[in-house]
Structure 1
Amino acid sequence: MKPLQGVKVIDLTRILSGPYCTMLLADMGADVVKIEPPQGDDTRTWGPPFIETESAYFLSVNRNKKSFVLNLKTDEGKKILLDLVKSADIVVENFRPGTMKKLGIDYEVLKEVNERIILASIFGFGQSGPYAMRPGYDVIAQGMGGLMSVTGEPGRPPVKGGFSLADVGTGMWALTGILLALQARNLTNKGQWVDANLLDTMVSWQTYFAGNYFATGKNPKPLGGAHPNICPYQVFEANDGYFNIAVGNDSLWKKFCQVLNLDIANDPKFATNPLRVENRDELIPILESIFKTESFKHWVDLLDQAGIPAGPVYELSDLFVDPHIIEREMITTMEHPSFGEIKQVGIPIKLSETPGELVSPPPLLGQHTYEILQDLGYNDDEIHELYEKGVTVGEVVKQHV
């Protein structure tokens, strides 16, 4: 058994935030039907790199789903979608606000068809507010949400996070909202509308940066790899690469100085964390000169043996051969029907009794259209008519009709 076994999800999303959310649902056993327009999810063509006909981008966030091609701009397409909604639990979409209403499939319509339905909407700025209709992208949210103001090196231009933090984070918040709505439905027998957006995600993650600002009225500044409230807690350069240390309290500081043979543990400028933060400009150069004398492995091993948090800054080629990552099944493989074995990032949530599972590879465009229409009661003649009208497309459908 899987925790979301029996839960039916209609996935109207594309690109990243929505597909990531629905992949997490699918990994935990939900039956996810990915509704794609006739041309498919945009990311099917986002490359290179490609693995034969499919982009690596699309393959990264669409496993364990069924692909159903449906033209929602047609009356027949809308009818089929609403027929699916009757027996579904969740609909996830990331259209611009108002698009669902324009298509005639907004929350009010879905609720009339199925009062238990949970609609999760993911967008850049949410379903309300002065910016609601603005197009939202990850980099825009990272900038407006304050992340880029504190990322990067002092005195240099703002830098975004290396991967799509706003998109992926919003997919996670949407998942949280969906699970909360499912629990609420257990109590009320009614669904509800979940509103998750990229800007709110960035704002919610400000945590201690916001707390510091509220306390002082001063804008935080970029510190490179450092922490605004703890020192030393940052990235350092060894003679062959980079590594991080996290000296999170004064007890660790004393151990740290002992391991490095430093006689500054009780120095009145460095004895406590507030003093080290205040005098970081003097402390950090001392440490930098020491760390450049040996390899990052030397320092990580030495500090780890002393119980001081430390770790290398990995390239992905390092990360995916790390024995810990392998044992934790955070890299795994699946068989794709067209081109054999593909690699996938594993499931981060480990459940002892009802674990998630990688069951099926990212689907071909329209791969499951025929069987889903059959399940809805359509015969071959009716499916052929839908194909001829352009309500649905796909080689798989063509082969059957």
Structure 2
Amino acid sequence: MAGALCPYRILEFGGHVAGAALGMLLADQGAEVVKIEPAEGDPLRGHPAFSVWNRGKKSVVLDLEQERDASVLNTIIRSSDVLIESFLSSDDRVWLDYRAARYLNHDIIYASLPGFDTDHPENGRAGLETIIGASTGIYADRSPDGTTGPSFISLPYASIFGAMVAAPAITAALFHRARTGEGQQITVPLYNAMFTAMGASLVSRPDVPSTPAALSPVIGRFYQCRDDRWVNINAGYERAIRPMLQALEHPEWFDPITAPRLRDDADERRVWEENFSFVWRDRTALEWERIMEQAGVPCTMCRTIEEWMDTAHAQESGAVVQLNDPAFGPMRQVGIQVRLSETAGEISGPAPNLGQHTEAVMADLPSS
């Protein structure tokens, strides 16, 4: 069964994660994604992540300083529906901006994923993942007393959220073009996409006072258990604190741990933090997970990535799949998480070898 985006042709430029991930999402839903690469290949080639974010695509190698290859690119643009560019800096996209692409293909949809918007003071800087992460609070110190310092997170939050924001924007633009015949430019700055990622954490309501039990400073998010494994618990509010304390067999702790003075008394906080750390050592992490589940308290054992991918649900639901990659052999990858009942997408193949489809794509181009 053809995917919902078949037979749209997507042209992808740039070696940034955001553009590659966006192209993957569209390819998984049936689009023909043609990745334009220089002779040396995408900068991510050789990394396992490349095999995930570029699966199901076609690789075309062009030397755009050569007149013949530049002419080939112009012809490909004329036959494409969408152009994705994720160049790291504004200087890189000067040679192929929306105006130039629209001159070649009036109804093209041009999706740009820069690090910063054109009116942002940091617009001239490269939109690296770490730059965006540091600029948007991802690495911020989250310790209660603010003394731990920033904490690096290796997940490419900005790029993935940028891709997730851009994908529905592209489908909306395709729908608009089907009705009106008009193409358009889509701009999703990764810096701006992070506002979507932050969600409710950006909402401030000073007119709504917090309850005395809200976010007790002695209820941590993580506790080490008898087997040295950790659990994460979300029990910062009264509706969760009371059943949690019942399950811990210490219901009498409610009043002292929710007392407002505890926020300002560091010595007393440390005493209660030690009390909590001690009681969680009574059982294993998995035992606590089951006990808290029965009590209706959000709590789970902190699993490794391998444990997560090995769960029966991950395998049976297709959340994790196995592909035979030409560079790495059999490898597990994220599956297609979107479920369309009538136009189910599919992973059409592994990431392509460098230039694997150059001749085939050129052969299919209309003669000039």
Question: What SS does the aligned partner of 2:337 have?
Answer: coil
Post-superposition offset of 1:66: 0.5
Query: Does 1:336 pair with 2:337?
Result: no
* Matches of 2:69 and 2:119, distance apart in 1: 28
Post-superposition offset of 1:351: 2.3
Question: What SS does the aligned partner of 2:148 have?
Answer: coil
* Matches of 1:327 and 1:275, distance apart in 2: 50
| Gap runs ≥5 in structure 2 | 208-213
Question: What SS does the aligned partner of 2:233 have?
Answer: strand
* Matches of 1:163 and 1:263, distance apart in 2: 39
Post-superposition offset of 1:295: 1.2
CA contact (8 A) 1:9 1:31 kept: yes
Aligned length: 355
Query: Does 1:349 pair with 2:329?
Result: no
The change in CA–CA distance for 1:230 and 1:356 in structure 2 (over 3 A counts) is: farther
The change in CA–CA distance for 1:184 and 1:231 in structure 2 (over 3 A counts) is: farther
Question: What SS does the aligned partner of 1:64 have?
Answer: coil
CA-to-aligned-CA distance 1:236-277 (integer Å, 9 cap, x gap): 221221111123653333322222212237527539xx9998
Query: Does 1:97 pair with 2:90?
Result: yes
* Matches of 1:181 and 1:67, distance apart in 2: 25
CA contact (8 A) 2:161 2:197 kept: no
CA contact (8 A) 1:245 1:310 kept: yes
**Deviating runs (4+, > 6 A) in structure 1?**
227-231, 274-280
Matches within 5 A, 1:355-366: 355-366=344-355
Higher relative contact order at CA 8 Å, sep ≥6: structure 1 or structure 2? 2
Question: What SS does the aligned partner of 2:33 have?
Answer: strand
CA contact (8 A) 2:245 2:254 kept: no
Q: TM-score, normalised by structure 1?
A: 0.80
Post-superposition offset of 1:315: 1.4
* Matches of 1:121 and 1:84, distance apart in 2: 18
Task: Determine the structure 1 residue equivalent to 2:278.
Answer: 289
CA RMSD of aligned residues (A): 2.9
* Matches of 1:289 and 1:303, distance apart in 2: 17
Task: Determine the structure 2 residue equivalent to 1:238.
Answer: 225
Task: Determine the structure 2 residue equivalent to 1:85.
Answer: 77
| Gap runs ≥5 in structure 1 | 46-54, 217-226, 383-401
CA contact (8 A) 1:146 1:202 kept: no
Post-superposition offset of 1:169: 1.7
CA contact (8 A) 1:170 1:201 kept: yes
CA-to-aligned-CA distance 1:196-228 (integer Å, 9 cap, x gap): 12221234433443333x749xxxxxxxxxx96
Matches within 5 A, 1:16-27: 16-27=17-28
Task: Determine the structure 2 residue equivalent to 1:2.
Answer: 3
Post-superposition offset of 1:140: 1.0
Letter in 2 for 1:267: D
The match for 2:287 among 289, 298, 303 is 298
Task: Determine the structure 2 residue equivalent to 1:139.
Answer: 130
Task: Determine the structure 1 residue equivalent to 2:106.
Answer: 115
The change in CA–CA distance for 1:209 and 1:231 in structure 2 (over 3 A counts) is: farther
Letter in 2 for 1:234: R
* Matches of 2:238 and 2:244, distance apart in 1: 10
The change in CA–CA distance for 1:122 and 1:310 in structure 2 (over 3 A counts) is: same
Question: What SS does the aligned partner of 1:67 have?
Answer: strand
Task: Determine the structure 2 residue equivalent to 1:251.
Answer: 239
Q: TM-score, normalised by structure 2?
A: 0.86
Query: Does 1:376 pair with 2:365?
Result: yes
CA contact (8 A) 2:8 2:32 kept: yes
Deviates more, 1:21-30 or 1:313-322: 313-322
